[in-house]
Each structure stands twice: as structure tokens, then as C-alpha cells.
Amino acid sequence: MSKFKNLLSQFSKQGSLENGNDQIVRYNAYSGEGKRALALYEKGVSLMKERSAVDQGDPFGWVYQAGIHGNFWRDVEQLAKWSSAYNYQFTSEEDVLAGNTVLNNCTHYNNQWSNIAILPGTMMELNFVPWHRLYLQSHESIIRQLLSEEGIEGAENWGMPYWEYTNPDQGVIPSLFTDKNSALYELSRGVRVNAGESAEEQGILPTIQKGLTDSLEQTTYASFNSLLDNNPHGFMHDYLGGSQDSPAEKAITGEAQQKIAEQLGAGNSDDIGVMGLMGNVATAALDPVFFTHHSYIDKIWSDWNASENATFIDESLLESNPWNYQYFTPSDDGSVQLETYSYWGSDPNSVLSSVYNPNYTYDNDETSDGTPNPVLSLIQNSAFRPLAVDKQVDTAIQNVQSDIQKVQPISLDLPLSYSDIIDLSKDYSLDVEINLDYTIPMDRSAPFRVIFLGLKTLSNSEQLEKLLKQYDPTELPGFTVVPFPTGGAKSMGDQDMNNSMPTNSDEMMMTMGASIDLTYALEISSLPAAELSDDGPLGMVAISSDSNNDIFIKQLSVSLNQNINPTNSNGNTFDAAAYLAEYSDLLTNPEALEDPYAYFQTFGKDLGHQETTIEDRAQQLGFGYLAANSDLVDELNNSPYRAIEHYLTKGLEEGRSLLPTSGLTDEQADYIIGPEAYRLYNGLIDQYITTASSVEIFDLLVGPSGWSIDRSGFQVGSDGSDQSIYRFINKQSGGVYYSINESLDTNMKESGFFADGLAFELFSEFSEQSSAVIQYFDASSGQYLLSSSTNEQQMLEQDANWVMVDILGYIQSSLEPITPITSDNLEIIEVDGSR
């Protein structure tokens, strides 16, 4: 069994991407344990409300805790003055103005903190579920502390119960919330909800059940997060706020909210809702049902993480879409401490470490039969999604209001129509993702809309103009990007495309990125399917209503995403998405789509197609982890498989970077020589290179130049190795030459070689357990090749094209081949007597 299959087998029974603390369990509020937990929650809320009555600025008080999620002030200056007037601890007026506050940190406050970069996409606030997970966990820890101080039994292991309202038998809000003598009661809540009417009676049960099903069926984190945020999460907020109530009933809850605002000194706020607290982001967390609601939303994420659809959050997504993860928690002595996981994107890996190692578990995970293999979930990282298209565009964004004739359609270079893309997702679980690089002046913010329609429509200015008059641009399939001077892009939400910040013509241009799940964008579009389905292959346009817009789309890439957990958990390593991306004409071939591997075996080989494997992705990811964590190179023997194992068992919890997402730092860029060397081959230029640097291997593998791992080479740098091997590169031929000498003789220098430094170390003396590392030369191609396998060496010596140059040294053992050498003369490779 190969090393990669061993790795898959090692993690095949883990069951979830999460590793929670089973000493604290969150129970269903309808169960016996859940009812006891709810009673303790009621006591905890009572204690917190008592603290707020004494001091509104007490971090352990109910009002301040709710204010972390949101309060009545969306204007930053008003928020700063209000929090200062009521002596909110850890929050000065200057802190608030600088964004250094825990107040109003719910991810739905993206407009308030408009100097912070938010996700470039369609209604995808990527921080939604992780931020709320850590918010709820910190809130939970405070309640445990307060209950423990009161000497209440069960306090130390108490967990927030969840209300599973999608269950037809649990559609009525738990009775403790409707008891007017309970601290969990809230008048400013849906009247019919408080009256004990069920979700089914109020007609919303099918809607939230569909929202639950749709969310759990998603196969990327971004789409799961987005759908869950919308429904059941957002839908239930409105429902609990009284969306099903009559106007007269809504007036009751709205008036109650007004009184709460007056009590908190915010009676003149413009952000007082017309319904109950839960129907308003600013006030939602003041209603105790908020936390049991979010405990269930968090459980849905936990359920998804235990399903075969689950994937990890990419570090790069949190890095490019920063948010403020600051909360209050009890210190060891019970006093208040400010806990910062990440301050506006300062440490996304701390967030990932905490959300995948939560301080609790749930009483059960309701998942399908399949569970995720964390290895397969990890290598679905967006950095390694197969590219079907990657092209330079250099197209200026046009002002659609002044001259629609100048709008330039951009082809996606794929034979896919609207219906094709929908069918790929529905029938074959293949989703299409669009990534754009664009440039914008440093000091500018100008929203622009990227629209996807058939090229027939986009090329017809009259038809496009008619559509833009009939529909708002945000109703057409696509996404709105709102760059900010500090970088990044905002979610489209209700952005006004007519608003832009002034630009300074002397400002330098900066390059930024935006991405969208095209399949999802098409599915949620307001445009009738009939107007999209017969419009030929899709293209895109980028438009703006700004009168002075100098933004340019520079690069377009299109990648395919397919959930590889169901198809590859049995050890099959064929990468169907990569195969279809490489040979994109097959995307409209039903036989190839039905079973890509069978098609490759039956037809692809004869057509000269190359086999694609998910092991390629694993190798790239493993070397990326080593490149980002050079201190692990020796410990992990420079092995990509051991690197993945380390990340899943230790690195994630330690908060290590999975990949060098922001480019390699100076320290990471040093070509640290590891103890294991690999031979890489580039079929486009017919060149070999052997290296023991994980940084170099990663750079070559993820670059656009066609490099792949040809085979594991040999163990280098072992204890006692005494022979330094230096590398020299020929700028003209690209050939790589190795020598025991640090400098070259005159003939080699005149041939165009230059020194590239120390490559690795070998043994200078032969022993019974060692084998020789021999350098060969092919005069026809000018290429040098290193071999450490006696079987391969015998084959090379029988090949008239290859000539032995020298024996560079000796190694103790050869390593397993990864893929066969691609030369026509070398079909079989053997290492130490095995294939």
C-alpha cells in the first residue's frame, strides 16, 4: 500500500473534522439533560441581568454581553460616545473609533466597520459561523463562572442547550422561555411564539426544514455558511421576532423594544426595530432565546463537519476577509479578561484552531451514513482546486450608465451554458468557481458588479441594456465587489453602486482579488431560468455606475470543485475534477461525466490523456505546509504525507499555517535542505530537477510551469553523511548539473552553467546497505538525471541516449516512487526491488 493510501486509512474512522471537549456537552433542550441545562441557563441569565442592573458596563453583565453581538448604535461615533457615557469597561471612546472594541462585532455589522475588508462574494459573510461559535463559547464560559461562584451543582460542566425547532415534535419554544417569572421570558418576542404556537402551526416548518437540508447538502464551506446564515438562521430570527404576527401584535413587541432602548440610554436611536428583539441584529442577543437558537445553528455546523460533505475553512479566506474575534472570558481567578483570537485578521490560524477544537461536544451528531476523511476534506482546499481556465484579461470596467456600447464581454473559455452548469452540480456534484484579480487605485472605493450571462446576450448591447433596465444589476447572476482603501472587498448585500470614494490620481495601483461560487450565484439569481437556459456558453461583464471608474480586471481563472470524500474514501485516487478541468471539452460529454475514471481507462489513454490523482493535491499541500513551517522539515523527514498527518493531529490545534498564503516570508523562502530528496519532471520542457527543499518543491508544483513529482529520490542528510553535493543550472537549456565541487571548471562555465548552491549531502563511502547516486546525461536533450535505484540504473545503462557521468555518493536507502518517469524509454521504475 502506498504512503498516501496509508494516510487515508489512518484517518478513515475519525468521524468528524472537529475534536471537541467531551467533558462539556450541549444537550437538546427537550431532553431530560437539556431541561436541567435550561434551568441552569435561566439562573445564569438572572445573575447576568442583576450585574447589568448595577453596572451596564460590566463585561459579565447581560447588556454588555448582548452588546458584543450588537446594540442600538450603528454609527461608530454615536457608539463611541454612548459606550463612554455608560463606562463600558475595556472600551474607551478612542478604542471604538479605531475599531478596537468588542461591541457590535457580529459579522452582520460589516457596514459599520467599513474600513475593514469583507468577503468579495454574494451574501457570503465567511466569518458568520466561526465568529458566532466563539461568541457563544465565551458567553457559555461566563455563565459557568457565575454559576460556580454561587456554588450551584452542575456548573462546572454546564453547556448551552440547543432548541431543535426543525424537529416537528419540538416546534414550540421551551416553556421556560414563556414563563413570565423566568429570566428567559422576553415581552419583545413574537406574540404567537410566546403564546406557545409551534413552527408547524405558524406555517414555517417546511421552510426551515428545507433550509436545514439545503445547508447540509453543500460541499464547500462558503456555500454551507451562506445558506445556513440565510435559512434556518436568518429566517428564525425574523420568526422569533414576530414575522408571523399581526400588525397589532407587532406593535406590542416593537413598543417593548422601544422601552428597552430607553432603559439603555438609546431611546433616540434610529436602529430600534418594529418587531421583537430577535428580528433586529442590533438587539437580537438581548433575548435569551438567541443563545439556544445559535447553539442549534452551531450544532448544524457540527453535524456538517461530521458528514462526508464537510471541508475545512481555508486560512486564506479568513486572511483576505478579516474580522474581529474579541470576547470576554473568565481568567483563572474568575476575573474578566479580554480574549483575542484574531484582531481584524491578525491571526486566522488561532480562529481555526479554536473552532475545530471547541470546548464542548453535542449529545449527538445527526449525519448521513458517510463521514469525512479529514485528509480528503483538507486537500479540497481552494488553493488546489483544478483550474480549467487561467487567462489574462486586462479589461477596464465600464460605466454602464454612460455608454453601454463600451461594455466588453469576457468569455469564460468553457463550453458551458447556464443549464450545463446547473446540471453539473445537480447530476455530478461539480461546481464552478470564478476567481478574479483586479487593480484599483490605493485610495479608492468604487463598487462594481460582475454579471454572468450567455455570450449571445452580452455581445448584444441592445439586449443587455434592456435587461439592465428590466432588472436591478444585483438581481442578475453574479456578485458585487466593493473594494475599500485598506484592501479587500465587501459582500454585495444592499451596496449602492452609485456610491464611491474619491480617488487620488497620483495613488499607486494595488492588485486585489475576488471569488464566487458561480453555480450558487446562478441558482439564487432572480432572473428566470428561461431567460438564461438557451443563451449559449456563459461569459461575463464587469460594470459600474460610477462616473470616474479606473478599475481593471487583470486575470480570470475558472476552477472546478467536486466533493472527493464519497468517491475517494475507499482509496481510489483518481481526481475526476482535475481530469475534467484538464480536458474541459469533456464537460459536455455525458459518458465522461457519468464515470470520468472509466472514460479515462476506456478512451482517455488512447487519446493521450494523462491520469490525474488526488495524491497530486496531497503532495502540493504537504510541501506547502513544510514551506510554511520550516522548523518541521527535519522532524517530518521532508515528507508531504507526514506533514499532512502532523497538521491534522497537531498543527491545526497549535494554530500553525497550513500554507504560506501571503507569499513566503524571508525565513520561509530560505531553501532549507530537508532529509528527503525528490525528483521532479516537467513534460512541457522535458527537464528534470532533484531537490531536498520543500519550499522549492512547493513553488514548482503550484506554479504554472508544468512541474510534477516524478519520484521520490533518496534519503539525504542522514547522520554521518559527509559529501556535499552542489547544484548548477544552465540558463540556456534549463539543464541541472550536480557536482561534489562547489565551483565549476572552465568548460562547464562556458556551457552556460551557473552555481545554484548546496543541494544536499550524501555518504562518500560505500557500505553493504548503501546504493549509489549516479548522474546520467542525455546529449540529445542536454538534460542531467539523478538515479538512486539499481533497477533504474540498469535500464538507463541499456539506453543509448543516457550516459553515466559520475557517482556523486551513496545513500542508505531509496524511497518509494510516486509516479513513473515519463520518458518513452522508461516505462517501469523499481526501487529496492519493488515497483
- pLDDT > 50? residue 118: no
Q: What is the phi/psi pair of residue 335, to 5°?
A: -80, 170
Q: Looking at per-residue confidence, does 484 or 685 come out higher?
A: 685
As a whole number, mean pLDDT of residues 139-144 equals 99
Burial of 578-614, coded b for 16+ CB within 10 Å and e otherwise, reads bbbbbbbebbbeeebbeebbebbeeebeeeeeebbbb
pLDDT at 665: 60
CB atoms within 10 A of CB 13: 8
Answer yes or no: is pLDDT of 119 > 90.
no
Beta-ladder partners of 437 = 513, 555
503 closest CA partner among 489, 483, 488: 483
pLDDT score, position 266? 80
What is the spatial distance between Cα 161 and Cα 551, in angstroms, rounded to a whole number?
49
pLDDT of residue 1: 53
The DSSP output letter for 458 is: H
Give residue limits of the domains in the chain.
Answer: 25-371, 381-562, 581-609
Rounded to whole angstroms, the Cα distance separating 214 from 211 reads 5
Provide the pLDDT confidence category of residue 467 given band limits of 50, 70 and 90: confident
Residue 369 pLDDT exceeds 70: no
CA dihedral of 30, 31, 36, 39, whole degrees rounded to 10? 0
* Whole-number pLDDT of residue 780: 87
**What tens digit of pLDDT does each residue of 602-639 get?**
999 999 999 999 999 999 999 999 999 999 999 999 99
Cα separation, 363 vs 22, in Å, equals 9
More confident residue, 165 or 765: 165
Residue 516 in this model has a pLDDT that exceeds 90? no
Q: How many whole angstroms separate alpha carbon 736 and alpha carbon 784?
A: 6
Is the CA virtual torsion 717, 718, 722, 723 positive or negative? negative
Query: Mean pLDDT across the stretch 643-668?
Result: 86
Mean pLDDT, residues 401-412 taken together: 77
- Total-model pTM: 0.88
Distance of CA 411 to the CA centre of its chain: 27
Which of 247-256, 386-395, 742-751 is least confident? 742-751
pLDDT score, position 713:
63
State the Cα–Cα distance between residues 669 and 627, nearest whole angstrom.
Answer: 8
pLDDT at 69: 95
CA pair distance 60, 483, nearest whole angstrom: 37
- Comparing 422-426, 471-475, 552-556, 812-816, the range with the smallest average pLDDT is 812-816
DSSP classification of residue 168: G
Position 504 scores a pLDDT of 41
822 — pLDDT class (breaks 50, 70, 90): very low
Rounded to an integer, the average pLDDT of 469-480 is 83
User: For the segment 376-391, what is each residue's pLDDT rounded down to a tens digit?
Assistant: 999 999 889 998 999 9
Confidence of residue 560 (pLDDT cuts 50, 70, 90): very high
Residue 439, CB-side half-sphere exposure with 13 Å CA sphere: 13
Cell triple for residue 76?
461608530
Tell me whether strands 325-330 and 336-342 are parallel, antiparallel or unpaired: antiparallel
Cβ(316)–Cβ(244) below 8 Å: no
For residues 709 and 403, which has the higher predicted lDDT (pLDDT)?
A: 709
Continuous segment of H or E residues that includes residue 805: strand 802-811
CA-nearest of 307, 318, 316 to 374 is 307
The domain 25-371: what is its CATH number? 1.10.1280
Answer for the pair 477, 572: CB distance below 8 angstroms, yes or no. no
Q: Which of 101-115, 428-442, 817-831 has the lowest mean pLDDT?
A: 817-831
The single-letter code of the amino acid at 104 is N
Q: Residue for cell digits 446562478?
A: 522
- 3-state SS assignment for residue 286: helix
User: Phi, psi (5° rounding) for residue 302?
Assistant: -65, -40
Residue 651 DSSP class = I
